[in-house]
Structure 1
């Protein structure tokens, strides 16, 4: 079952603290939004941005915006770092192997 996506305007934003409130287009009460709900956005939000979001609850049962996207802002998923990790490990193994062979040949 698909979750409902809501639309609203970022009414307030405290950039130094990483949170604000969205004024929903449907007239509901303002809803809390945290910077952690904006994963993958190319920039931080500004007051007045149009946001698309789903509604979830925090551990205390209060409603909050989740899976938030900023209208007109590119989504940039984090690159997978496995390839970089594998390259460094391969280089380390090659270097250690070369040092061992060099030490063996000098005997």
Structure 2
């Protein structure tokens, strides 16, 4: 269960290739783990030194982690609908058929 109190801290370390890091809380508590999945909708990935706002929860092993995190001063990015892979294949097939028809017409 998450502590709904918003905490503040500074991102002390960040391993971008692995998608996690540790926040140093402003209240002096021990560093807290943060995973990229807790930063949904941020317009950019975090970097060391970012001021973070977050809630605290326990993972399945009982360790504390940051959840519902956000980077201070960074906007949320609205998700845009992207066509699925099926639609890309359909589009490619239609364009191929049109190209073949045009080529056949002019030959």
Common fold: TM-score over 0.5: yes
Distance in structure 1 (CA, Å) of the matches to 2:78 and 2:60: 27
Which residue of the partner structure matches residue 24 of structure 1? 25
Q: CA deviation at 1:77?
A: 3.3
RMSD over aligned CA atoms reads 1.9
Three-state SS of the structure 1 residue aligned to 2:68 is strand
Which residue of the partner structure matches residue 48 of structure 1? 49
Q: Where has structure 1 moved over 6 Å in runs of 4 or more?
A: none
Q: CA deviation at 1:76?
A: 1.5
TM-score by length of 2: 0.71
Q: CA deviation at 1:3?
A: 1.3
Distance in structure 1 (CA, Å) of the matches to 2:78 and 2:31: 28
Q: How many residues align?
A: 83
Three-state SS of the structure 2 residue aligned to 1:4 is strand
Distance in structure 2 (CA, Å) of the matches to 1:12 and 1:72: 19
Residue by residue over 1:48-98, the C-alpha shift from the partner in whole angstroms, topping out at 9 and shown as x without a partner, is 0000000011111110000000001001232467xx89xx8xxxxxxxxxx
5+ residue gaps, structure 2: 88-107
5+ residue gaps, structure 1: 89-107
